[in-house]
């Protein structure tokens, strides 16, 4: 059975891994240079910066839990990063999602938010693979009910990610595919599998 020391070591390893990304990212320039700041506090902020860089669109609770940080600690560092203009956020229903500042359009931010939700992501992945897929086929592929597909299709349409004028069609499919491929490792295995086949899914108009 893991003890407190094992948990602390796991937390430190996780923070170091993401802190290395954060320190090497453009967000690193927003360090406040406070010489009184503890090393652990600096590591936590760099880890948050690294996490947001590699996992854009993650909501607060997932960010906090994946980095094994406390709620207050996470809030403090996110406020610092937002105040410095390094990170921005947007409300998504009950969630607040975080992104590197200035990197994504409003459409891309919304898309990333939905791609971090299992069923909407699965629907978009299936439709990128087969643009002719019906609601029933989506339900079968994702092992969900037909009403569940209809519910999320309505949400995706309202968010500007899906058209239901003639069946289901992904809006700006190249953009959505690019996001899925670029951040495949931070999504589920469905995104990783799609990324492996991405070259065959890109369509060019002659």
* Angle made by CA atoms 140, 202, 176, in degrees to the nearest 5: 65
Share above pLDDT 90 across residues of the chain, in percent, rounded to a whole number = 68
Tokens of 34: 């406070």
What are 13-42's pLDDT values in tens digits?
665 666 665 555 555 555 545 544 555 677
Let me know: does 98 contact 89? Beta carbons within 8 Å.
yes
Classify the phi-psi angles of 124: left when phi > 0, otherwise alpha if psi is within -120 to 50, otherwise beta.
Answer: alpha
Q: Which of 148 and 194 is assigned the larger pLDDT?
A: 148
Tokens of 79: 């406020």
Tokens of 162: 């899906």
Q: How many separate domains does the chain show? A: 2
**Rg over CA atoms, the chain:** 19
What are 159-205's pLDDT values in tens digits?
999 999 989 999 999 999 999 999 999 998 999 899 888 766 655 44
Asked whether residue 206 is domain-assigned, the answer is no
User: Span 78-106, mean pLDDT?
Assistant: 94
Same domain, 132 and 165: yes
Residue 48: per-residue pLDDT: 93
Range of the domain at 172: 107-201
Asked whether residue 122 is domain-assigned, the answer is yes
């Amino acid at each position: 059975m893991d003890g407190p020391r094992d948990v602390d070591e796991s937390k430190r390893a996780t923070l170091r891994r993401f802190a290395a990304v954060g320190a090497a990212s453009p967000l690193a320039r927003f360090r406040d240079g406070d010489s009184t700041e503890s090393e652990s506090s600096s590591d936590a902020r760099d880890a948050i910066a690294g996490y947001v860089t590699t996992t854009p669109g993650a909501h607060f609770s997932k960010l906090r839990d994946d980095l094994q940080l406390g709620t207050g600690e996470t809030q403090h560092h996110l406020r610092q990063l937002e105040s410095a203009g390094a990170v921005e956020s947007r409300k998504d229903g009950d969630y607040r999602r975080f992104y590197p500042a200035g990197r994504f359009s409003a459409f891309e931010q919304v898309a990333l938010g939905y791609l971090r939700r299992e069923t909407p992501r699965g629907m978009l992945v299936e439709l990128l693979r087969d643009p002719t897929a019906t609601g029933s086929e989506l339900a079968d592929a994702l092992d969900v009910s037909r009403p569940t597909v209809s519910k999320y299709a309505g949400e995706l349409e309202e968010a500007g990610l899906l058209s239901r004028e003639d069946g289901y069609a992904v809006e700006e499919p190249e953009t959505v595919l690019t996001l899925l491929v670029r951040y495949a490792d931070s999504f589920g295995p469905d995104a990783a599998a799609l990324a492996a086949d991405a070259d065959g899914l890109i369509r060019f108009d002659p």
